[in-house]
Every structure is written in structure tokens, then in C-alpha cells.
Structure 1
Amino acid sequence: MKVTSYISEAFTELKDNVTWPEWSEVQRLTIIVAVFSIIFALLTFGVDRGFEVIIEKVYAFLNK
């Protein structure tokens, strides 16, 4: 019974007391998040690839 009451109160809270952003703002912020996520992923890939190349060169040098 408590779980059902909690869920019901949560939906009422979301419906009546939460201020939802306008659809245009949601779209704008979604695009910003997507762009920064792609940039961060590419940066992480670049750093990872750079370390991979450095480690390969170190092992190649040590195995000569």
C-alpha cells in the first residue's frame, strides 16, 4: 500500500509542482549535450590512441 501511495504522490508532484522547460529549450540543450559528448568522445579517443602509439614505440625500442 505504501509503494502505491508513494508512486501516486510522485506523479502528482511531477504533474502539479514541477516547472517543465519549453520544447525549444529542450531541443537546444539536447543539441548542446550531444555536441559536447561527441567532442569529449573524440578527445578521449585521441588521447587513448596517442598513449597506444607511445607504448608501442617504447616496447619496440626495448625489444631491439
Structure 2
Amino acid sequence: MNVKNFVIESIDEMKNKVTWPKYSTLQNSAVLVLVASLIFALVIGFIDLTFENIMTWFYDLF
């Protein structure tokens, strides 16, 4: 199989065999990913801040 044949078949597969999502579905998925990422970042930030305060309190005891 040569490179030209591979490229032609790849283009044909991308055009005719791949099911592409609608634009509205992509928007909904992007919003979902952004919201989930923000929630995850806030949770991790809260855990980090709590752990930092606990460690500071613990080290100040000694």
C-alpha cells in the first residue's frame, strides 16, 4: 500500500464513514467539559487549601 492510496482512502473514510456530531452537540459537550473542569479545579483547590492550613497548624504546634 503506497502513501497516495493511504491518503485517498483516509479522506474517503473521513467524508463518508465517520459520523460527525452536530454543532449544538459539540457546544453542549464543550460547556459540560468546562463546567466539570471548573468544579474539579475548585474541589482540588479546596482540598489543597485545607491540607495547607492543617499542616501549618500542625507545624505551629512544635
TM-score tier by shorter-chain length is 0.7 to 0.9
Deviation of the 1:16 alpha carbon: 1.7
Cα RMSD over matched residues? 1.8
> Structure 2 vs 1, CA of residues 50 and 22 (structure 1 numbering), >3 Å: closer, same or farther?
same
Q: Distance in 1 between matches of 2:4 and 2:40?
A: 41
**TM-score normalized with structure 2 length:** 0.82
Alignment partner, residue 27 of structure 1: 27
Unmatched 5+ stretches in structure 2: none
Q: Which amino acid aligns with 1:27?
A: Q
**TM-score normalized with structure 1 length:** 0.80
Deviation of the 1:36 alpha carbon: 0.6
Deviation of the 1:13 alpha carbon: 2.0
Alignment size in residue pairs = 61
Deviation of the 1:11 alpha carbon: 3.3
Unmatched 5+ stretches in structure 1: none
Partner SS, residue 42 of structure 1: helix
Between the aligned residues of both structures, percent identity stands at 38
Report 1:1-64 matches (<5 A): 2=2, 5-6=5-6, 8=7, 9-62=9-62
